[in-house]
Homo-oligomer: A and B are copies of this chain.
Amino acid sequence: MKSVQLSHGGGGEETNTLINDLFYRYFENDILIKAEDAAVLEVKKKIAFTTDSFTVSPIVFNGGDIGKLSIAGTVNDLAMMGARPLYLSSAFMIEEGLSYDTLKQIVESMAKELAKSGAKIVCGDTKVVPRGSLDKIFINTAGIGEIEQEDISVSNLEQGDVIMASRDVGRHGATILMEREGLDISSDLQSDCETLWPAVEGLIKEDIAVHSLRDATRGGLSAVLNEWAQASDICIEVEEDSVGISDQVRGICEMFGFEAMDLANEGTFILAVASEDAEKALQVLRQYHFCENASVIGTVSEKYPSKVVLHSAHGTSRFLDLPKGELLPRIC
């Protein structure tokens, strides 16, 4: 079986072959083909610039793989700034001996995910390291987007804003945990991994007064809400029962003692919207298959500044804290 060799990363003839056979073939576009030491781009607006490295294990999981994740993750970081994802870099760090077919599958998966936002890979890098220096494959993507709507920020939440979630939470973290533990308890549980730009573009086109947007990745919903409460110095009050958690995610959390709200998501975002636009925002979101269960989960108040309060159906309340410790490494 063909596999990736050290020579594929040497910068010589074999590297050129790999780049032509795989990267140019699947990522083909005019800018990439013309790129030399760097790609040449023309942008017209303010730009957003972000980076992420992906180290997920296993590299293929129910609902995605490291390739899909590496595109969706960076595209989503741009989208959360109100920026249209345009140009991505992709840097592959590969362990000697990785199957060529696996690499091809990952690259195909990246190309498929790129098509959802229209973003293009315009430059890249390939490193192959000796066996044992790296576990299979890590991918870094950096991204550039043009900002379509300014003033979306963690510090822009206002009293009375409505907090929404685009869907149920905890799927990506629970899926990775299940696969890593070799569990087969719920074969229909799959990662939420998804490119979110189309829904954000929909909100912008409809002139929804979005104050803040954030995909709930590492640290989950808890991390997003705490960051917002602190940055905007407001209180976020959440109705616990309104946060969607699937039965499978709930089961896995009970088994391992995790909080679903702390688990990573890769295609779930949280919105703070002016109250008068809340209903319209929900209507827009529900047009997209990955947001069809979007719902209101809370409101912004002045009760406990910088804090997130969780109200249970039984009438009790508690603070939701920023997650501590490492719940699950190599989740993304």
Size of interface on A: residues with Cβ below 8 Å to B: 78
Q: How far, in Å, is A77 (CB) from chain B's closest CB? A: 4
Partner of A329, one of B9, B77, B87, B144: B9
Q: Decide: B10 and A326 in contact? CB cutoff 8 A.
A: yes
Main secondary structure of the interface of A (DSSP, over half): mixed
Q: Which of A5, A36, A43 has the most CB of B within 10 A?
A: A36
Q: Decide: B325 and A219 in contact? CB cutoff 8 A.
A: no
Which one of A11-19, A107-115, A250-258, A292-300 is at the B interface? A11-19
Q: Which residues of B contact A123 (CB under 8 A)?
A: 49-51
Scan A72-116; emit 1 where CB is below 8 A from any B CB, else 0: 000011101101000101111100100000000000000000000
- Please tell me if A67 contacts chain B, counting CB pairs below 8 Å: no
3 nearest CB pairs, A to B: A11-B218, A142-B142, A51-B89
> How distant is the Cα of A329 from the Cα of B96 in the complex, in angstroms?
10
- Please tell me if A274 contacts chain B, counting CB pairs below 8 Å: no
Q: Decide: B48 and A40 in contact? CB cutoff 8 A.
A: yes
> How distant is the Cα of A38 from the Cα of B82 in the complex, in angstroms?
10
Q: How far, in Å, is A183 (CB) from chain B's closest CB? A: 19
Residues of chain A whose beta carbon lies under 8 Å from any beta carbon of chain B = 5-7, 9-16, 36-43, 46-53, 55, 57, 76-78, 80-81, 83, 87, 89-93, 96, 122-125, 127-130, 132-135, 138, 140, 142-145, 147, 153-154, 214-215, 217-219, 223, 264, 322-327, 329-330
Q: How far, in Å, is A50 (CB) from chain B's closest CB? A: 4
- Given A11-B323, A42-B46, A322-B13: A91 and B51 interface contact (C-beta under 8 Å): yes
Partner of A323, one of B12, B132, B140, B143: B12
Q: Which residues of B contact A217 (CB under 8 A)?
A: 11
16 residue pairs bridging A and B, Cβ less than 8 Å apart: A36-B80, A36-B154, A36-B214, A38-B78, A38-B81, A40-B48, A40-B49, A41-B48, A43-B47, A51-B124, A52-B125, A55-B129, A55-B133, A91-B142, A134-B135, A140-B142
Q: Decide: A53 and B127 in contact? CB cutoff 8 A.
A: yes
Q: Which of A38, A125, A133 has the most CB of B within 10 A?
A: A38
Q: Which residues of B contact A12 (CB under 8 A)?
A: 218-219, 223, 322-325
Residue on B nearest A135 in the bound complex, by CB: B133
